[in-house]
Structure 1
Amino acid sequence: MLSYEDALAVVLREARALPVERRAPEDAQGLVLAEPVDSGVDLPPFDNSAMDGFALRAAGAVLAAGREFEVRGSQVAGDDAATAGEGAWEIMTGARMPEGLDSVVPIERVEILERDGEGRPRLIRLAADVAPGDNVRLRAEDIARGALAVPAGRRIGANERMVLASLGATTVAVRRRVRVAIINTGRELVDDPARPLASGEIRNSNGPYLAARVEAAGAEVVLRETVTDEPAVFLGVLERALAAGADVVLSTGAVSMGRHDFVPDALRGIGADILFHKVQIRPGRPLLFARLAGGALYFGLPGNPASGAVGFRFFAEAALRAMSGMTPEQPLRMPLAAPWSKRAALRFHLKGLVELADGRLSARVLKGQESFKVLPLLLANAWIVVPVDAMALDAGDMVDVYGPGHLEAPMIGERLE
């Protein structure tokens, strides 16, 4: 039985980054940059006004309130470069600064003393001091030409799309989405929610859960099937999963030590390399990890819901992250809200609630940690991790806290009394 750290190291060793492809930014949403994006332009590309108002020349000195200026021109967004002489220029937000002017006074801070026949300002008086550079966005103040704009390993979302659009990027180098197949084993499982359960049958909750978690983790489900406890049927579905292009196969059930736990032997029979089976964790100790003959990764998750959830969250998601080109995940650290103890020297992964009280965050272990219970997963907003050697913790002791998924931070929940 491997330690968590050793087992994770095996997973990360096998989880090789996927090939790189070039895509338009709009087709790369949710994918991870394989190469950094350097700026080919200055942002902003020219000095421009941050306010609607009047452009002035301060020339290194404060322009005192009460000074009057004739309005000699105007500049609106989209106008070409212009050269200004003396006086003020009416200007709008985003408009290019006329050459020779270096400051902008907002329109609310001037008095318009005279207007021309068309109602345009002709003479203004400052109602407040204007310092050199006030309300001017300088060329390259945001991003300079040649500077790093978006680093490799960054997942493309709305903010990245905004930067890429601002740079005029037409394509980016990304790693394709990881393809995942889900196989739920067990003749007791029923997928059809409308079908009445026969004696001994249960609803298949692992399938929908894992499908949702795979998508939330940034991967793609290419196959999802439920099979009985017959190795030949299982291997047929596995063959279809690989034909669908699965990079990762997840199965639930049939990996413990019972007479009907057939998955390990079935995998050995097709030449899979079982890299570990059992990890020093709770829940989820029977976790199996293998590399299939064609190179796909295989995670045999236990059938109990919380056990499968832990195996996916802390092992399969680590693989998905590495295959996508992201750096390893780092936990948050926060104090435990209440004392907690355990009896087994295992690394525990606990359904938890991150709370905010009196301006401080804390993590509370929820009731109902049994691996068969599904309701605590609904109530939890985080995973709390207790290491092997910590048998008893006091309120205030620091613990590692992870979000529900590797792309999700813990949401702050209501305090439980």
Structure 2
Amino acid sequence: MIPFPQAIYSVIQSANQLDLPTQRTDLTALSGRICAERITAPRPLQPFTNSAMDGFAFRHQDHCSSHEHQPYLRVRSTIAAGETPPAQPLPAGECDRILTGAVLPNGADSVIPLEQTETSADGYVSFHHMPKLGANVRKAGEDIAAEQLIIEPGTLLDPGHIMPLAALGIENLAVYRKPRVATITTGNEVTQDLGTQLKQGQIFDSNHFYTQALLRHLSCDLVDNRHLQDDKKLFVNHLHYLLSLDLDMVISSGAVSAGAEYDFVREGLQAIGAEIIFHKVAIRPGKPNLFAHLPNGALYFGLPGNPLATAAGLRFLVAAALRAMTNQPVEQPLIGQCTTTHSKKSGISRALLCTCVGGQDQRLLVNIPDSQSSFMTNPLLTANSWVLLNEDKDDYKPGDKVDTYPLLPGQRSWPKPAAPKQKKDKGG
């Protein structure tokens, strides 16, 4: 049995040897893919200085010579979005009627909203009040500067990246090919027919559906997904079939506990010439975790069959491999503070679902529910994070620091510590 950090290290070292090709992909299909190139802004955004609203563009200095410092300006022209403004700079004592998004005319430096003005019959505009210099003007490059770094290689792309890319006119990106993955669930007692009436001793195959959902979130191409009965010969035959496919990874759940009659995964892998890297990890849930290299170079993960053991193995072992295969940095935890007490067995790591919320003074508060047996699925309904309790500490109390991770890898909406409260100004 190896320590959990060593297991992660072994997985990452192996996955780093796989060289996934890249492909250029259109903007509409980028969400969920892993960026394979460094993207900088090819132009500024805004691309030109423009008006933030419908109103009148004017020279702020004109208020100094106006009646009672409120401008009374002649309307020179109207500029709509997409139109070219007059070539001549805006003369003193004049303004341009301007619409939202239109190019600010040369010489103008401020915009007053239409509703804060009055226009006379002879084509002059008076202001209800004087805006600040630069009011309602969006300057070129105010949003994104030219050559600004937009996306690093290894970034998991989501819809939040698409709008800036489109606004910059970037049509496509180089992304890593989706890892080609096959999954296997095992067990005579398991059925994937969710509409069936369960027989005595039968259960639904929740691992199959959870694994599919998580792998799709992690931008995998699910090539083959199979449920097998507890039969070693059937398993070996299926492994031979999988070797004929161009796979990067195979993941199975169940049949990995050493010594049990129906736990045949290790023997089946050895029968086809796979190299067992480790079998048994000092972590709960997931002690029977197995990791191997298949003869064709694909990675093999044998996860325990209990639902939370499968979920933890996917979240930490499989996700670590997928990150390494696509040039993503090694995942780092966010340090939180326990709000509850928890004790675990000495000498092993513990992966637990938890709820993280932002506290004051930049603290991340971590609530770890008590009831989390590996056979359960209910903790997944309310958790937003995982916590990893290190093997060298057994008892945790409120205020102790712990390593936390988002429920789903690459989850940008994961809660961050709240900003500290602003002190009230006591000045008179």
* The two structures share one fold, judged by TM-score above 0.5: yes
TM (norm. structure 1) is 0.90
Residue 95 of structure 1: aligned partner: 102
Deviation at 1:66, TM superposition (A): 1.8
Residue 78 of structure 1: aligned partner: 82
Identity %: 37
Return closer, same or farther for 1:173/1:373 CA change in 2, 3 Å cut-off.
same
Deviation at 1:94, TM superposition (A): 0.6
> Equivalent residues in 2 for 1:272-351 (5 A)?
272-351=274-353
2:209 matched to 1:208?
Answer: yes
Q: Would you say the 8 A contact 1:185–1:254 is kept in 2?
A: yes
Deviation at 1:238, TM superposition (A): 2.8
Residue 67 of structure 1: aligned partner: 71
Deviation at 1:149, TM superposition (A): 2.7
Residue 51 of structure 1: aligned partner: 53
Deviation at 1:88, TM superposition (A): 0.8
- How many Å separate the matches in 2 of 1:347 and 1:99? 65
Residue 406 of structure 1: aligned partner: 409
Return closer, same or farther for 1:138/1:356 CA change in 2, 3 Å cut-off.
closer
> More displaced, 212-221 or 284-293?
212-221
Residue 4 of structure 1: aligned partner: 4
Q: Would you say the 8 A contact 1:61–1:132 is kept in 2?
A: no
1:269 corresponds, among 271, 284, 297, to 271
Q: Would you say the 8 A contact 1:337–1:363 is kept in 2?
A: yes
Deviation at 1:8, TM superposition (A): 0.6
Return closer, same or farther for 1:90/1:387 CA change in 2, 3 Å cut-off.
same
Deviation at 1:242, TM superposition (A): 4.5
Q: Would you say the 8 A contact 2:57–2:112 is kept in 1?
A: yes
SS in 1 for 2:374: coil
Q: Would you say the 8 A contact 1:30–1:155 is kept in 2?
A: yes
- How many Å separate the matches in 1 of 2:234 and 2:22? 35
Return closer, same or farther for 1:37/1:60 CA change in 2, 3 Å cut-off.
farther
> Equivalent residues in 2 for 1:21-32 (5 A)?
21-32=23-34
Deviation at 1:369, TM superposition (A): 1.7
Q: Would you say the 8 A contact 2:62–2:71 is kept in 1?
A: no
Residue 176 of structure 1: aligned partner: 177
Q: Tell me, which stretches of 5 or more residues in structure 2 are unaligned? A: 417-428
Return closer, same or farther for 1:72/1:178 CA change in 2, 3 Å cut-off.
same
- How many Å separate the matches in 2 of 1:221 and 1:167? 33
- How many Å separate the matches in 1 of 2:301 and 2:190? 19
Return closer, same or farther for 1:338/1:241 CA change in 2, 3 Å cut-off.
same
Return closer, same or farther for 1:139/1:300 CA change in 2, 3 Å cut-off.
same
Residue 255 of structure 2: aligned partner: 254
Please tell me the residue identity of whatever aligns with 2:191.
V
- How many Å separate the matches in 1 of 2:228 and 2:201? 16
Return closer, same or farther for 1:234/1:76 CA change in 2, 3 Å cut-off.
same
Please tell me the residue identity of whatever aligns with 1:54.
F
**Structure 1 residues 338-377: Cα deviation after superposition (integer angstroms, max 9, x where no partner):** 1111233211111222356889752222132211122223
Residue 39 of structure 2: aligned partner: 37
Q: Would you say the 8 A contact 2:344–2:394 is kept in 1?
A: yes
SS in 2 for 1:280: strand
Deviation at 1:61, TM superposition (A): 8.6
Please tell me the residue identity of whatever aligns with 1:11.
V
Return closer, same or farther for 1:204/1:73 CA change in 2, 3 Å cut-off.
same
Residue 377 of structure 1: aligned partner: 380
- How many Å separate the matches in 2 of 1:327 and 1:115? 65
Residue 419 of structure 2: aligned partner: none
* Equivalent residue pairs, number: 406
Return closer, same or farther for 1:379/1:242 CA change in 2, 3 Å cut-off.
farther
**Structure 1 residues 378-405: Cα deviation after superposition (integer angstroms, max 9, x where no partner):** 3333212211111111112121122221
- How many Å separate the matches in 1 of 2:27 and 2:189? 45
- How many Å separate the matches in 1 of 2:96 and 2:335? 54
Q: Would you say the 8 A contact 1:63–1:131 is kept in 2?
A: no
> More displaced, 144-153 or 23-32?
144-153
Q: Would you say the 8 A contact 1:63–1:129 is kept in 2?
A: no
Q: Would you say the 8 A contact 1:367–1:376 is kept in 2?
A: no
Deviation at 1:218, TM superposition (A): 2.7
- How many Å separate the matches in 2 of 1:246 and 1:206? 21
Deviation at 1:113, TM superposition (A): 4.3
Return closer, same or farther for 1:169/1:242 CA change in 2, 3 Å cut-off.
farther
2:116 matched to 1:115?
Answer: no
Return closer, same or farther for 1:105/1:15 CA change in 2, 3 Å cut-off.
same
- How many Å separate the matches in 1 of 2:355 and 2:144? 40
Return closer, same or farther for 1:150/1:361 CA change in 2, 3 Å cut-off.
closer
SS in 1 for 2:120: strand
Deviation at 1:153, TM superposition (A): 2.1
**Structure 1 residues 175-234: Cα deviation after superposition (integer angstroms, max 9, x where no partner):** 122222110122222222344444443322211121122122332322211112222211
Q: Would you say the 8 A contact 2:156–2:410 is kept in 1?
A: no
- How many Å separate the matches in 2 of 1:22 and 1:384? 36
Q: Would you say the 8 A contact 1:62–1:131 is kept in 2?
A: no
Please tell me the residue identity of whatever aligns with 2:183.
I
2:391 matched to 1:391?
Answer: no
SS in 1 for 2:105: coil
**Structure 1 residues 305-329: Cα deviation after superposition (integer angstroms, max 9, x where no partner):** 1111111111101112222332222
Return closer, same or farther for 1:282/1:139 CA change in 2, 3 Å cut-off.
same
SS in 2 for 1:249: strand
SS in 2 for 1:320: helix
Q: Would you say the 8 A contact 2:385–2:406 is kept in 1?
A: yes
Return closer, same or farther for 1:63/1:400 CA change in 2, 3 Å cut-off.
farther
Q: Cα RMSD (Å) of the superposition?
A: 2.4
> More displaced, 17-26 or 402-411?
402-411
